[in-house]
């Protein structure tokens, strides 16, 4: 997948109006001082009532009215961003972007509803096909239609039976007449591309051209003839005649083009809409919809959270639209829909073993800034991302919301002792809340911790979270859930599990982030100024060993479990070594 651009909507417009057949009649350039149209973005509920009725009853799927979570093979209409354009003759065109799950990224569909001042309306399909070889340039210019090179096909949809608009044969890919507009840069399809002798017209005030330089010739001066009758010298920039359809991109310097048509059986005559027709491409949502095979509900969610949509697009692009990246993004979208109160940090979640919501923690406070710095360090660790795979052979994700509280107490009960953090599972859901005590994140308190100690605390709570989910969801791993509930039924028994199974993993994570949560100066002090004594009788000595330090701070908080008391008897050499590593590390690494 080539490079994406994070633009939710790109549009220009076409002008299509009638002119006389007489080849000697000069087309007049507009000279009004005002821009000859009004352009705006609207939602479906802002459409005229009769058009809303058409949209809501014709059987189409659209992103504003459906909550169906199934993947669709029918066209998906983007009803949140409709482009409306009304000209100075009170002719209005509404362009509604739509696509199919398998629509190529260089193809754009618009349902265009042309409404005359009398209220009469016609429906069209505009299909814009960018040449594959020109698509990268189109994307590189943010889908600006000045850089579009390709073909536009126009067909009417008044042949739809039973008011349905549910198949490709009724949405532009049909056997009936079409208007074909070849690329202006294609000399095989545009005889004028090699040069013409016509004189250029003048842009109307406001920058909207009503004649096109190089292709609109004055009477009898030669130049681009256009049309099957060789109507030399006629200005076709803003008209259509009996021998062909002609139009131009207003506001863009583009020539008129001839067309061909094809027919199979009884089909309506294709008469292009009058007025100004906006182009509504919405490239990013279309690409996400097709690449991720999104449902209507998923698309509607992204349209309501454009920031999320842009982040997902950027993430997929940076990961080359890999299957793993697509699977992750679709899960994030699903979980966001299922849990509307959660606001996931997509990039943090992508590098974590679970989906992370830390939206309540900002850099506006010292404790919030410190937490985010530490968590950003954790997500650089490859071992943290796959924290549970080696132990459980499973990477099922769950949702974690981090919160910082002024004080945190055991069992979230203020009558009990103050603790560094707590982990709680929300009833009936795979959602976890981890509360971090503010006191461990700020300096000068009895509970202040170093950055690496705080990283260990977060890691410790993440393991609790996973064990809660495992124990309550046997479908993930029935055998393990049974063992966990039998041998480690409470949070204290979970500490036994950590002691037995998780210390090597915790050591590795801390080793991978050490340089991000400590300073070189402080590390040098520990490495050069401290001597450690594994035994006191006889006295043995070693320099500071980082891997031993990672082990001991991982064990900190597990010192009440039975196995710890067996391995580290109080006042034993092992216990004293453990205590000294904790003491010296805290003393030198405190911020």
Residue predicted with more confidence, 402 or 430? 402
Note whether 566 and 424 are same-domain residues.
yes
Cα angle vertex 206, ends 204, 208, to 5°?
55
**Of 253, 286, 319, which residue sits at a domain end?**
286
Note whether 380 and 252 are same-domain residues.
no
Helices and strands, number each (H, E), in the chain: 18, 21
The answer to whether residue 23 sits within a structural domain is no
Q: What is the pTM of this model?
A: 0.68
Note whether 428 and 540 are same-domain residues.
yes
Structure-block tokens of residue 475: 């479908």
Note whether 97 and 169 are same-domain residues.
yes
pLDDT 10s digits, 451-491:
999 999 999 999 988 888 776 654 444 454 454 445 544 55
Query: Residue 220: left if φ>0, alpha if ψ -120 to 50, beta else—which one?
Result: left
Look at residue 392 in the predicted model and tell me its pLDDT. 61
pLDDT 10s digits, 381-399:
999 998 876 666 556 788 9
Look at residue 473 in the predicted model and tell me its pLDDT. 57
Look at residue 297 in the predicted model and tell me its pLDDT. 86
Look at residue 250 in the predicted model and tell me its pLDDT. 30
Note whether 435 and 503 are same-domain residues.
yes
The answer to whether residue 299 sits within a structural domain is no
Average model confidence (pLDDT) across the chain: 73
Report whether 63 contacts 299 (CB < 8 A).
Answer: yes
**Of 251, 286, 321, which residue sits at a domain end?**
286
Note whether 498 and 409 are same-domain residues.
yes
Note whether 480 and 581 are same-domain residues.
yes
Look at residue 480 in the predicted model and tell me its pLDDT. 47
The answer to whether residue 327 sits within a structural domain is no
Structure-block tokens of residue 24: 């000697």
The answer to whether residue 323 sits within a structural domain is no
Q: Which residues contact 13 (CB under 8 A, 6 or more apart)?
A: 37, 39, 85, 249, 250, 251, 276, 277, 278, 279
Number of other residues whose CB lies within 10 A of the CB of residue 257: 28
pLDDT of residue 329 exceeding 90, the answer is yes
pLDDT 10s digits, 217-250:
222 222 222 222 222 222 323 322 222 222 333 3
Q: From 228, 233, 230, select the one nearest 198 (Cα to Cα).
A: 233
Look at residue 435 in the predicted model and tell me its pLDDT. 96
pLDDT 10s digits, 38-62:
888 888 888 888 888 777 654 445 5
Radius of gyration of the chain (CA): 33
Note whether 116 and 265 are same-domain residues.
yes
Look at residue 148 in the predicted model and tell me its pLDDT. 82
Look at residue 491 in the predicted model and tell me its pLDDT. 59
pLDDT 10s digits, 114-154:
999 998 988 888 888 889 999 888 887 777 777 888 888 88
- Cα–Cα dist 3/314, whole Å: 9
Look at residue 213 in the predicted model and tell me its pLDDT. 21
What is the mean pLDDT of the segment spanning 355-375?
97
DSSP letter string, 450-482: -HHHHHHHHHHHHHHHHHHHHHH-TTT-HHHHH
The answer to whether residue 102 sits within a structural domain is yes
Note whether 281 and 175 are same-domain residues.
yes
Domain span at residue 455 reads 339-589
Structure-block tokens of residue 427: 């009833």
State how many domains the chain has. Answer: 2
Note whether 281 and 405 are same-domain residues.
no
Ranked by mean pLDDT, the top range of 55-69, 119-133, 303-317, 502-516 is 502-516
What is the mean pLDDT of the segment spanning 333-339?
94
Note whether 281 and 161 are same-domain residues.
yes
pLDDT 10s digits, 418-453:
999 998 888 667 799 999 999 999 999 999 999 999
Note whether 279 and 360 are same-domain residues.
no
The answer to whether residue 203 sits within a structural domain is no
The answer to whether residue 528 sits within a structural domain is yes
Upstream peptide bond of 440 is cis (omega within 30 degrees of 0): no
Structure-block tokens of residue 326: 């697509």
What is the mean pLDDT of the segment spanning 278-284?
81
**pLDDT-derived band of residue 496, with 50, 70 and 90 as boundaries?**
confident
The answer to whether residue 334 sits within a structural domain is no
């Amino acid at each position: 997948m080539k490079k994406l651009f994070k633009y939710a909507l790109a549009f220009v417009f076409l002008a299509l109006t009638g002119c006389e057949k007489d080849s000697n009649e000069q087309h007049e350039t507009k000279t009004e001082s005002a821009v000859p149209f009004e352009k705006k973005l609207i939602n479906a509920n802002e459409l005229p009532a009769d058009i809303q009725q058409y949209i809501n009853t014709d059987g189409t799927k659209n992103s504003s009215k459906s909550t169906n979570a199934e993947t669709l093979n029918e066209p998906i209409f983007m009803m949140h961003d409709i482009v409306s354009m009304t000209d100075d003759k009170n002719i209005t065109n509404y362009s509604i972007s739509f696509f199919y799950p398998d629509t190529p990224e260089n193809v754009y569909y618009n349902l265009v509803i042309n409404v005359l001042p009398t209220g009469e309306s016609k429906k069209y399909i505009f299909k814009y096909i960018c040449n594959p070889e020109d698509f990268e340039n189109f994307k590189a210019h943010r889908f600006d239609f000045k850089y579009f090179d390709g073909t536009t096909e126009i067909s009417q949809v008044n042949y739809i039976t039973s008011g349905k608009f549910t198949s490709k044969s009724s949405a532009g890919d049909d056997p009936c007449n079409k208007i074909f507009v070849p690329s202006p840069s294609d000399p095989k399809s545009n005889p004028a591309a090699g040069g013409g002798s016509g004189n250029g017209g003048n842009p109307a005030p406001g920058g909207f051209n009503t004649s096109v330089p190089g292709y609109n010739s004055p009477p009898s001066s030669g130049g681009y003839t256009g049309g099957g009758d060789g109507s030399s010298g006629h200005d076709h920039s803003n008209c259509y005649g009996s021998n062909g359809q002609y139009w131009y991109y207003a506001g863009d310097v583009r020539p008129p083009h001839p067309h061909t048509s094809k027919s199979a059986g009884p089909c309506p005559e294709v008469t292009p809409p009058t007025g100004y027709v906006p182009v509504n491409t919405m490239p990013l949502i279309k690409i996400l919809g097709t690449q991720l095979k999104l449902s209507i509900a998923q698309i509607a969610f992204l349209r309501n959270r454009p920031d999320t949509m842009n982040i997902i697009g950027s993430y997929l692009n940076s990961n080359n639209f890999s299957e793993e990246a697509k699977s992750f993004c679709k899960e994030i979208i699903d979980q966001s829909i299922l849990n509307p109160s959660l606001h996931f940090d997509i990039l943090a979640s992508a590098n974590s073993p679970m989906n992370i919501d830390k939206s309540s923690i900002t850099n506006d406070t010292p404790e919030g800034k410190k937490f985010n710095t530490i968590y950003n360090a954790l997500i650089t660790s490859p071992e943290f991302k796959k924290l549970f795979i080696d132990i459980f052979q499973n990477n099922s994700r769950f949702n974690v919301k981090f919160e910082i509280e002024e004080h945190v107490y055991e069992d979230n009960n203020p009558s009990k002792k103050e603790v560094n953090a707590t982990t709680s599972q929300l009833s009936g859901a795979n959602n976890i809340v981890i509360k971090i005590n503010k006191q461990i994140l700020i300096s000068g308190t009895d509970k202040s911790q170093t950055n690496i100690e705080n990283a260990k605390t977060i890691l410790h709570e993440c393991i609790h979270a996973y064990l809660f989910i495992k124990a309550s969801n046997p479908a993930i791993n029935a055998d393990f859930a049974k063992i966990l509930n039998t041998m480690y039924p409470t949070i204290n028994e979970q500490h036994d599990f950590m002691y037995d199974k998780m210390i090597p993993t915790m050591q590795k994570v801390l080793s991978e982030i050490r340089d991000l949560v400590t300073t070189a100066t402080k590390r040098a002090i520990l490495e050069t100024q401290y001597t450690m004594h594994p035994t006191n009788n006889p006295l043995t000595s070693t320099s500071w060993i980082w891997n031993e330090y990672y082990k001991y701070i991982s064990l900190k908080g597990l010192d009440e479990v039975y196995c710890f008391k067996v391995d580290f008897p109080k006042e034993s050499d092992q216990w004293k070594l453990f205590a000294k590593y904790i003491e010296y590390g805290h003393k030198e690494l405190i911020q």
